[in-house]
Protein backbone atom coordinates (compact mmCIF):
# COMPACT_ATOMS: atom_id res chain seq x y z
CA UNK A 1 0.00 0.00 0.00
CA UNK A 2 1.12 3.63 -0.46
CA UNK A 3 3.34 5.27 2.12
CA UNK A 4 1.83 8.44 3.62
CA UNK A 5 3.76 11.56 4.63
CA UNK A 6 3.97 11.75 8.44
CA UNK A 7 2.26 14.76 10.04
CA UNK A 8 0.95 16.14 13.33
CA UNK A 9 -2.45 17.75 13.95
CA UNK A 10 -3.95 19.35 17.04
CA UNK A 11 -7.53 18.40 16.15
CA UNK A 12 -10.13 18.60 18.91
CA UNK A 13 -8.21 16.51 21.42
CA UNK A 14 -10.42 13.49 20.70
CA UNK A 15 -8.54 11.85 17.83
CA UNK A 16 -10.50 13.66 15.10
CA UNK A 17 -10.61 17.14 13.54
CA UNK A 18 -14.14 17.69 14.88
CA UNK A 19 -16.49 16.49 17.62
CA UNK A 20 -18.31 13.26 16.70
CA UNK A 21 -22.09 13.39 16.50
CA UNK A 22 -23.85 11.54 19.37
CA UNK A 23 -26.74 9.14 18.70
CA UNK A 24 -28.93 7.17 21.10
CA UNK A 25 -29.22 3.74 19.45
CA UNK A 26 -31.14 2.00 22.24
CA UNK A 27 -34.40 1.82 20.25
CA UNK A 28 -32.81 0.45 17.07
CA UNK A 29 -33.22 -3.14 15.88
CA UNK A 30 -29.44 -3.44 15.49
CA UNK A 31 -26.33 -1.60 16.67
CA UNK A 32 -22.64 -2.42 16.86
CA UNK A 33 -19.44 -0.49 17.59
CA UNK A 34 -16.25 -0.94 15.63
CA UNK A 35 -14.79 -3.05 18.45
CA UNK A 36 -17.68 -5.51 18.14
CA UNK A 37 -19.85 -4.46 21.10
CA UNK A 38 -23.46 -5.04 19.98
CA UNK A 39 -27.05 -4.72 21.10
CA UNK A 40 -27.38 -8.37 22.10
CA UNK A 41 -24.39 -8.23 24.50
CA UNK A 42 -25.17 -8.14 28.23
CA UNK A 43 -23.75 -5.66 30.73
CA UNK A 44 -21.96 -2.43 29.86
CA UNK A 45 -18.84 -2.03 27.69
CA UNK A 46 -15.49 -1.63 29.36
CA UNK A 47 -13.32 1.43 28.87
CA UNK A 48 -10.96 -0.78 26.84
CA UNK A 49 -13.80 -1.76 24.47
CA UNK A 50 -14.81 1.88 23.98
CA UNK A 51 -11.21 2.96 23.39
CA UNK A 52 -10.69 0.10 20.94
CA UNK A 53 -13.72 1.20 18.91
CA UNK A 54 -12.37 4.78 18.80
CA UNK A 55 -8.92 3.56 17.72
CA UNK A 56 -10.48 1.57 14.86
CA UNK A 57 -12.63 4.52 13.82
CA UNK A 58 -9.48 6.68 13.82
CA UNK A 59 -7.65 4.10 11.70
CA UNK A 60 -10.32 4.13 9.00
CA UNK A 61 -10.85 7.90 9.15
CA UNK A 62 -7.19 8.85 8.96
CA UNK A 63 -5.47 5.95 7.22
CA UNK A 64 -7.88 4.15 4.86
CA UNK A 65 -6.47 4.23 1.32
CA UNK A 66 -9.26 2.34 -0.47
CA UNK A 67 -12.09 -0.05 0.24
CA UNK A 68 -12.18 -3.42 -1.46
CA UNK A 69 -15.52 -3.47 -3.23
CA UNK A 70 -16.63 -5.12 -6.45
CA UNK A 71 -19.79 -4.42 -8.40
CA UNK A 72 -20.61 -6.10 -11.71
CA UNK A 73 -23.53 -6.55 -14.07
CA UNK A 74 -24.42 -8.36 -17.30
CA UNK A 75 -26.74 -6.41 -19.55
CA UNK A 76 -27.60 -7.29 -23.16
CA UNK A 77 -24.56 -9.50 -23.48
CA UNK A 78 -22.10 -6.95 -22.09
CA UNK A 79 -20.44 -7.30 -18.67
CA UNK A 80 -19.25 -4.22 -16.77
CA UNK A 81 -17.21 -4.47 -13.56
CA UNK A 82 -16.02 -1.72 -11.20
CA UNK A 83 -13.86 -2.26 -8.13
CA UNK A 84 -11.71 -0.91 -5.30
CA UNK A 85 -12.34 2.86 -5.14
CA UNK A 86 -9.63 5.02 -3.55
CA UNK A 87 -10.46 7.67 -0.94
CA UNK A 88 -10.07 10.79 -3.02
CA UNK A 89 -10.92 14.39 -3.80
CA UNK A 90 -12.59 15.79 -6.90
CA UNK A 91 -14.79 12.95 -8.20
CA UNK A 92 -15.11 12.03 -11.12
CA UNK A 93 -11.42 12.89 -11.65
CA UNK A 94 -10.16 11.60 -8.29
CA UNK A 95 -6.98 12.70 -6.56
CA UNK A 96 -6.00 10.34 -3.74
CA UNK A 97 -6.24 12.14 -0.41
CA UNK A 98 -3.42 11.40 2.02
CA UNK A 99 -4.06 11.36 5.77
CA UNK A 100 -2.49 14.80 6.22
CA UNK A 101 -5.05 16.27 3.81
CA UNK A 102 -7.97 15.14 5.99
CA UNK A 103 -7.25 17.61 8.77
CA UNK A 104 -9.73 20.16 7.40
CA UNK A 105 -12.72 17.81 7.29
CA UNK A 106 -15.83 18.64 9.30
CA UNK A 107 -19.12 16.83 9.86
CA UNK A 108 -20.82 19.11 7.33
CA UNK A 109 -17.96 19.16 4.82
CA UNK A 110 -16.12 15.87 4.47
CA UNK A 111 -13.22 16.47 2.11
CA UNK A 112 -12.72 12.85 1.03
CA UNK A 113 -14.85 10.05 -0.38
CA UNK A 114 -14.20 6.74 -2.13
CA UNK A 115 -16.49 6.41 -5.13
CA UNK A 116 -16.85 4.51 -8.39
CA UNK A 117 -19.61 4.79 -10.95
CA UNK A 118 -20.22 2.73 -14.08
CA UNK A 119 -22.09 3.49 -17.28
CA UNK A 120 -25.48 5.03 -16.53
CA UNK A 121 -24.86 4.58 -12.81
CA UNK A 122 -25.73 0.89 -13.03
CA UNK A 123 -22.61 -0.05 -11.05
CA UNK A 124 -21.71 2.21 -8.14
CA UNK A 125 -19.96 2.17 -4.79
CA UNK A 126 -19.44 4.97 -2.31
CA UNK A 127 -17.90 5.28 1.16
CA UNK A 128 -17.83 8.64 2.95
CA UNK A 129 -16.69 8.27 6.57
CA UNK A 130 -18.30 10.26 9.37
CA UNK A 131 -17.66 9.74 13.08
CA UNK A 132 -20.53 8.82 15.39
CA UNK A 133 -20.48 8.24 19.15
CA UNK A 134 -23.05 5.55 19.95
CA UNK A 135 -25.05 5.71 23.19
CA UNK A 136 -27.27 3.04 24.69
CA UNK A 137 -29.56 5.45 26.49
CA UNK A 138 -27.15 7.66 28.45
CA UNK A 139 -24.25 5.17 28.32
CA UNK A 140 -21.48 5.61 25.75
CA UNK A 141 -20.88 2.23 24.11
CA UNK A 142 -18.38 3.13 21.37
CA UNK A 143 -17.74 4.67 17.96
CA UNK A 144 -18.20 4.02 14.26
CA UNK A 145 -17.39 5.61 10.89
CA UNK A 146 -20.49 4.48 8.94
CA UNK A 147 -23.85 5.40 10.47
CA UNK A 148 -26.17 6.04 7.54
CA UNK A 149 -29.44 4.18 7.12
CA UNK A 150 -29.48 0.49 6.14
CA UNK A 151 -30.64 1.52 2.66
CA UNK A 152 -28.57 3.05 -0.16
CA UNK A 153 -27.98 6.78 0.13
CA UNK A 154 -27.39 6.99 3.88
CA UNK A 155 -29.50 9.76 5.29
CA UNK A 156 -29.86 8.74 8.93
CA UNK A 157 -26.85 10.46 10.50
CA UNK A 158 -23.35 10.63 8.97
CA UNK A 159 -21.06 8.16 7.26
CA UNK A 160 -22.50 6.68 4.07
CA UNK A 161 -21.48 3.28 2.68
CA UNK A 162 -23.33 1.48 -0.12
CA UNK A 163 -22.58 -0.66 -3.16
CA UNK A 164 -25.11 -1.26 -5.94
CA UNK A 165 -25.31 -3.14 -9.21
CA UNK A 166 -28.37 -2.89 -11.50
CA UNK A 167 -29.59 -4.49 -14.69
CA UNK A 168 -32.98 -4.21 -16.37
CA UNK A 169 -34.68 -6.81 -14.14
CA UNK A 170 -32.32 -7.49 -11.21
CA UNK A 171 -30.32 -5.55 -8.63
CA UNK A 172 -27.77 -6.35 -5.89
CA UNK A 173 -27.07 -4.00 -2.96
CA UNK A 174 -24.68 -3.95 0.00
CA UNK A 175 -25.08 -1.33 2.77
CA UNK A 176 -22.99 -0.92 5.94
CA UNK A 177 -23.91 0.97 9.09
CA UNK A 178 -23.38 0.99 12.85
CA UNK A 179 -27.09 0.89 13.67
CA UNK A 180 -30.51 0.71 12.06
CA UNK A 181 -33.95 -0.84 11.82
CA UNK A 182 -35.00 -3.65 9.51
CA UNK A 183 -36.08 -2.09 6.18
CA UNK A 184 -39.38 -3.15 4.63
CA UNK A 185 -38.89 -4.85 1.27
CA UNK A 186 -41.18 -5.91 -1.55
CA UNK A 187 -42.25 -9.56 -1.65
CA UNK A 188 -40.29 -9.95 -4.89
CA UNK A 189 -37.05 -9.04 -3.09
CA UNK A 190 -34.82 -10.89 -0.62
CA UNK A 191 -32.74 -9.25 2.13
CA UNK A 192 -30.40 -10.46 4.86
CA UNK A 193 -28.94 -8.42 7.75
CA UNK A 194 -25.97 -9.58 9.83
CA UNK A 195 -23.08 -8.35 11.94
CA UNK A 196 -19.82 -8.54 10.00
CA UNK A 197 -16.09 -8.14 10.67
CA UNK A 198 -13.99 -6.66 7.85
CA UNK A 199 -10.33 -5.67 8.35
CA UNK A 200 -10.87 -6.20 12.10
CA UNK A 201 -13.64 -3.56 12.09
CA UNK A 202 -17.24 -4.44 12.95
CA UNK A 203 -20.37 -3.22 11.14
CA UNK A 204 -23.93 -4.19 10.31
CA UNK A 205 -24.26 -5.40 6.72
CA UNK A 206 -27.54 -5.38 4.85
CA UNK A 207 -27.54 -7.37 1.59
CA UNK A 208 -30.49 -7.05 -0.80
CA UNK A 209 -31.31 -9.00 -3.96
CA UNK A 210 -33.99 -7.09 -5.90
CA UNK A 211 -36.34 -9.36 -7.90
CA UNK A 212 -34.88 -12.48 -6.22
CA UNK A 213 -38.38 -13.95 -5.71
CA UNK A 214 -39.97 -12.50 -8.83
CA UNK A 215 -41.66 -14.82 -11.32
CA UNK A 216 -41.75 -14.25 -15.08
CA UNK A 217 -42.99 -16.64 -17.74
CA UNK A 218 -40.04 -15.65 -19.96
CA UNK A 219 -37.34 -16.98 -17.64
CA UNK A 220 -36.08 -17.81 -14.14
CA UNK A 221 -34.56 -15.69 -11.37
CA UNK A 222 -31.87 -16.97 -9.00
CA UNK A 223 -29.86 -15.33 -6.23
CA UNK A 224 -27.16 -15.81 -3.61
CA UNK A 225 -27.01 -13.69 -0.47
CA UNK A 226 -24.66 -13.70 2.54
CA UNK A 227 -24.69 -10.59 4.71
CA UNK A 228 -22.00 -11.93 7.06
CA UNK A 229 -19.60 -12.12 4.12
CA UNK A 230 -21.03 -8.94 2.50
CA UNK A 231 -21.82 -10.64 -0.81
CA UNK A 232 -24.99 -10.72 -2.91
CA UNK A 233 -25.89 -11.61 -6.48
CA UNK A 234 -29.10 -11.81 -8.48
CA UNK A 235 -29.60 -13.06 -12.03
CA UNK A 236 -32.23 -13.80 -14.66
CA UNK A 237 -31.88 -16.63 -17.17
CA UNK A 238 -34.17 -16.33 -20.18
CA UNK A 239 -36.08 -19.27 -21.62
CA UNK A 240 -35.20 -18.08 -25.13
CA UNK A 241 -31.70 -19.51 -24.87
CA UNK A 242 -30.32 -16.21 -26.22
CA UNK A 243 -27.53 -15.01 -23.93
CA UNK A 244 -28.41 -11.41 -24.76
CA UNK A 245 -31.71 -11.94 -22.93
CA UNK A 246 -29.92 -12.90 -19.67
CA UNK A 247 -29.20 -10.42 -16.88
CA UNK A 248 -27.04 -10.63 -13.76
CA UNK A 249 -25.77 -8.39 -10.95
CA UNK A 250 -23.37 -8.83 -8.05
CA UNK A 251 -21.95 -6.68 -5.24
CA UNK A 252 -19.39 -7.45 -2.56
CA UNK A 253 -17.16 -5.86 0.10
CA UNK A 254 -14.12 -7.53 1.65
CA UNK A 255 -12.35 -4.84 3.70
CA UNK A 256 -9.97 -1.87 3.57
CA UNK A 257 -6.42 -1.18 2.46
CA UNK A 258 -4.50 1.32 4.60
CA UNK A 259 -1.67 3.80 4.18
CA UNK A 260 1.62 2.93 5.84
CA UNK A 261 4.18 5.39 7.29
| pLDDT for res 16 | 82
Is residue 127 included in any domain, yes or no?
A: yes
| pLDDT for res 10 | 67
| pLDDT for res 66 | 94
pLDDT tens for 221-237 read: 999 999 999 999 999 99
Quote the number of domains for the chain. Answer: 1
- CA pseudo-torsion sign 195, 198, 199, 201: negative
| pLDDT for res 13 | 66
Is residue 6 included in any domain, yes or no?
A: no
Q: Which domain holds residue 135?
A: 21-258
| pLDDT for res 226 | 98
Question: Can you list the residues of the chain whose pLDDT is less than 70?
Answer: 10-13, 90-93, 105-111, 153-157
| Burial track 30-58 (b if 16+ CB lie within 10 A, e otherwise) | bbbbbbbbbbeeeeebeeebbebbbebbb
| Total-model pTM | 0.91
Is residue 1 included in any domain, yes or no?
A: no
| pLDDT for res 154 | 63
Is residue 211 included in any domain, yes or no?
A: yes
Is residue 40 included in any domain, yes or no?
A: yes
Is residue 225 included in any domain, yes or no?
A: yes
| pLDDT for res 257 | 96
Is residue 12 included in any domain, yes or no?
A: no
Is residue 4 included in any domain, yes or no?
A: no
| pLDDT for res 110 | 56
Amino acid sequence: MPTAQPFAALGRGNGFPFCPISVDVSSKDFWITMSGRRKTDSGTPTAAEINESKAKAMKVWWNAYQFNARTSNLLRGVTETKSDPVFSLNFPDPVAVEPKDRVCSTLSSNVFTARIRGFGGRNSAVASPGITALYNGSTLVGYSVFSGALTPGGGEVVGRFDIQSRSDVAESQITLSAFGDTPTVDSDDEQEIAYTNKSDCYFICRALAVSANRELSSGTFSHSINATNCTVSCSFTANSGDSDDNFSTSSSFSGFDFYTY
